[in-house]
């Protein structure tokens, strides 16, 4: 009797696997994905929630923005990020979202944010489709203007100079306008000079080229 009961149980298990096998496999894979993701999240900055989670809405996951109007923070030099946060906090750089947020941060928190995002690997600006002709024109202008002298050979930034490679097109254009109108300033005055003496068409070409660049990972 026990033998038949065991055989019946085995048959039922086989039948359930046949009927629900793909669903069970899918559930297993989902559970494995959730577990792996949770472990990666905790390894990145401790238990939920991370302080940096507040930045995701505008600047993307781990500071990799895919919105053309918001800058990517990933891979930006820590000194640059720290300076910009202080500038937002004291009102020398204006933004309706960043000013009140930066004002709530302590120096320790500002250093934490700057260090965190500077260590994140930047990714490609996937949602920008470059115009080949504009991009080539922009490449020529960037080379002739020797932008690498300040922003580095691969335009990844260093010290107080920001990463330009792979930034959002709309964000780059907005910064040109801000420098031209003195809404944004920087110590060298170079960005104001570039923004005012470069034609609108050439500024668009430069932004097109920069937005299309693949960020370096080292």
Question: Residues of the chain with pLDDT > 70: what percent?
Answer: 77
> pLDDT at residue 49 above 70?
no
Rounded Cα distance between 136 and 132, Å, is: 6
Q: Is the pLDDT of residue 25 over 80?
A: no
CA dist., res. 37 & res. 191, Å (int): 41
CA distance 90 to 82: 13
pLDDT tens by residue, 143-202: 999 999 999 989 999 999 999 999 999 999 999 999 999 999 999 999 999 999 999 999
The SS3 assignment for 213 reads coil
Quick check: 209 and 138 in contact, CB under 8 A?
Answer: yes
Tell me if 142 sits within 8 A of 184, measured CB to CB. no
For residue 143, the SS3 value is: helix
- What is the value of pTM for the model shown? 0.78
Residue 48 has pLDDT above 60, yes or no: no
**Helix, strand, or coil (residue 161):** strand
Considering only CA atoms, which of 120, 87, 92, 86 is closest in space to residue 106?
A: 86
User: Measured between alpha carbons, how far is 56 from 74 in angstroms, rounded to an integer?
Assistant: 11
How far does Cα 121 stand from its chain's mean position?
Answer: 9
- List pLDDT tens digits, range 56-79: 999 999 999 989 999 999 999 999
Q: How confident is the model at residue 54 (pLDDT cuts 50, 70, 90)?
A: confident
* CATH code of domain 55-212: 1.10.760.10
């Amino acid at each position: 009797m026990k033998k038949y009961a065991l055989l019946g149980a085995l048959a039922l298990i086989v039948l359930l696997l046949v009927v629900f096998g793909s669903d069970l496999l899918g559930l297993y894979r989902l559970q494995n994905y959730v577990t792996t993701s949770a472990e990666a999240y905790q390894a990145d900055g401790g238990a939920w929630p991370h302080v940096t989670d507040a930045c995701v809405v505008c600047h993307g996951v781990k500071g990799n923005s895919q919105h053309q109007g918001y800058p990517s923070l990933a891979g930006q030099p820590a000194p640059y990020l720290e300076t910009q946060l202080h500038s937002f906090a004291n009102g020398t750089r204006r933004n309706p979202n960043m000013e009140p947020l930066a004002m709530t941060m302590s120096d320790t928190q500002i250093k934490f944010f700057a260090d965190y995002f500077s260590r994140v690997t930047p990714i490609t600006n996937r949602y920008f489709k470059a115009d080949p002709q504009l991009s080539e024109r922009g490449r020529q202008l960037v080379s002739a203007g020797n932008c690498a002298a300040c922003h580095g050979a691969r335009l990844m930034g260093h010290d107080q100079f920001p990463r330009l490679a792979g930034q959002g097109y709309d964000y780059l254009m907005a910064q040109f306008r801000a420098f031209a109108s003195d809404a944004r300033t920087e110590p060298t005055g170079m960005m104001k000079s570039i923004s005012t003496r470069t034609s609108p068409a050439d500024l668009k070409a430069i932004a097109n080229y920069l937005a299309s660049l693949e960020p370096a990972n080292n």
